[in-house]
Amino acid sequence: MPDAIKVLLADGHALVRVSVREILQASDAIQVVGEVEDGDETITETLDLLPDIVLLDLTMPRLPGLEAMRAIMSGWPKIKILLLNRVIRAQHIIEALQIGARGIALHDGLAEDLLPAIQCVSADGYWLGHERVESLVGALHNLVREQASPEQKTFGLTRREIAVTRCIVDGCSNREIATQFGLSEETVKRHLSNVFDKVGVSTRLELAMFAMSHHLVA
């Protein structure tokens, strides 16, 4: 029998903690190793208990969830973090994913979704809202399209570099981008290198999340 998934519950709302604890304790596959109610305690207990997963409230007192997450990821990046929140806000979720979160479970679906979300995250998957996400970039792109401001910034990118970035958000390979624009793959690589340098990222996933977070692509 596999070891139980060790979970630290970090939420500033007492009623939410009670509800979540009841859900988790009903499963033999989950072991609740700790429970905290503010951001400072979350950091201390996470690094002391080393849980497999931290269930993290974004709006905790003393230290916001995103700041607590930054501290945790810098100290022990292998720990997985699943956010608990009432709603999905594109800006917050993308920022959290950039820091290292594995997704978000919504309060209104915890009874049905929490255990599958924990199992998904434990298996290195992503969870967004009420379901496992097969294409993280695609799901975030749809979310941003629903919530985005019409304002678009360019960050010094050329029109071609923005077009290439849009293709990255859409999940295209270098070969597909080259075919679409009649370029060589080496030229596509140079465009991407320039884009990485201008916006300060180092991977395609980071670029896609940056582009969506800053409304670089529609």
Same topology, domains 5-134 and 135-218? Answer is no
Q: What is the third-level CATH fold of 135-218? A: Arc Repressor Mutant, subunit A (1.10.10)
Looking at the domain that runs over 5-134, which CATH code has it been given? Answer: 3.40.50.2300
> What local confidence, expressed as pLDDT, does residue 145 receive?
64
Q: Are 85 and 20 in contact (CB under 8 A)?
A: no
Entry pTM: 0.68
Is residue 124 scored above 80 in pLDDT? yes
Q: What is the pLDDT of residue 148?
A: 54
Lowest average pLDDT, out of 16-30, 112-126, 139-153, goes to: 139-153
128 vs 123: CA distance, rounded Å:
15
Q: What is the pLDDT of residues 126-173, one digit of tens each?
A: 998 888 887 777 777 666 666 555 555 678 888 889 889 989 988 889
**The pLDDT value given to residue 88:** 67
Domain ranges of the chain: 5-134, 135-218
Tell me how far CA of residue 158 lies from CA of 16, 35, 155, 161, 216, in angstroms.
47, 49, 9, 5, 12
Average pLDDT over residues 87-111: 82
Helix (H, G, I), strand (E, B) or coil at 65: helix
Q: Are 35 and 123 contacting, i.e. CB atoms less than 8 angstroms apart?
A: no
- The predicted pLDDT at position 113 comes to 92
